């Protein structure tokens, strides 16, 4: 589920086809985008808490980076029709993930995790309110929720993608887009205190997997971070990030 679309509808078929031509692993092949995943893993590791659930882990790149950073991390992903089972991560087979065909319920006891990471997931789930209640259930009191890559409805990059017929958030049935206000209201409406809400990503981090883009990944990522801190301009950023506490 990690930042990839699911499902289809006739009016969105051409968008899905264009997205698939780029490859569902496009983010893993882009140096600047991998810099962002490393930054996310570092932010979570800096809190020094665990265990951490990578909710909707996808290929497992954030799980792997957190694991390397010393985080006690567990991976979970939705797979339609699958029973609850453990399988190797697709790109990191030395690590495993739990998969389930249940779109909301999570196969963990109450108060099990110290933190949950949602990286490009919350915007794709069919029932975000129920999913947030379920995340709250498995968190310890005072546990942390980290939300990354939540799509900004005012993103200039999403607007360009829509104009030229590429996949964009909001195109498919379960896609949702947000602004800071609606994102904070969504999360805080489910017994979370939002401690930080910020805009992120002014540059197209996953546009190129070329050798040059990998060599320039550092400067591109730092420029992206600097631009994302400019007031007003960052209202057009691609993503919203939230950090919240279970109360």
Domain range annotation of the chain: 10-246
Closest CA to 199 of 156, 161, 159, 149: 149
Tens-binned pLDDT, residue by residue, of the chain (247 aa): 343 333 332 233 322 333 333 345 788 888 999 999 999 999 999 999 999 999 999 999 999 999 999 999 999 999 999 999 999 998 999 999 999 999 999 999 999 999 999 999 999 999 999 999 999 999 999 999 999 999 999 999 999 999 998 888 888 888 899 999 999 999 999 999 999 999 999 999 987 778 888 889 999 999 999 999 999 999 999 999 999 999 9
CB neighbours of residue 20 within 10 Å: 13
Q: What is the pLDDT of residue 8?
A: 31
Q: What is the pLDDT of residue 15?
A: 28
DSSP-derived 3-state class of residue 142 = strand
Q: What is the pLDDT of residue 24?
A: 59
Closest CA to 151 of 172, 136, 131: 172
CB-based burial, 149-166: b 16+ in 10 Å, e otherwise: bbbbebbebbeebbeeeb
Q: Which CATH architecture has domain 10-246?
A: 3-Layer(aba) Sandwich (3.40)
Q: What is the pLDDT of residue 4?
A: 34
Q: What is the pLDDT of residue 90?
A: 87
Q: What is the pLDDT of residue 9?
A: 28
């Amino acid at each position: 589920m990690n930042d990839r679309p699911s499902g289809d509808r006739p009016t969105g078929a051409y968008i899905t086809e264009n997205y698939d031509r780029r490859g569902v692993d496009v983010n893993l092949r882009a140096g600047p985008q991998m810099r962002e995943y490393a930054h996310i893993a570092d932010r979570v590791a800096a809190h020094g808490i665990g265990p951490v659930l990578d909710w909707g882990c996808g290929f497992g790149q954030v799980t792997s980076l957190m694991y390397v950073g010393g985080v006690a991390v567990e991976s979970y992903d939705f797979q339609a029709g699958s029973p609850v089972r453990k399988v190797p991560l697709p790109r990191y087979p030395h690590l495993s993930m739990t998969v389930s065909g249940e779109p909301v319920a999570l196969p963990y006891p109450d108060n099990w995790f110290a933190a949950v990471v949602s990286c490009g997931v919350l915007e794709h789930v069919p029932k975000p309110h129920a999913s947030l209640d379920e995340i709250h259930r498995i968190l310890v009191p005072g546990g942390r929720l980290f939300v990354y890559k939540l799509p900004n409805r005012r993103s200039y990059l999403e607007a360009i993608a829509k104009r030229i017929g590429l996949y964009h958030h909001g195109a498919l049935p379960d896609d949702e887009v947000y602004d800071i206000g609606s994102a904070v209201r969504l999360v805080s409406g489910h017994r979370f205190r939002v401690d930080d809400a910020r805009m992120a990503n002014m540059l197209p981090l996953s546009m190129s997997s070329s050798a040059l883009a990998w060599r320039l990944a550092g400067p591109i990522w730092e420029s992206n971070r600097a631009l994302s801190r400019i007031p007003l301009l960052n209202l057009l950023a691609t993503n919203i990030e939230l950090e919240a506490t279970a109360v």
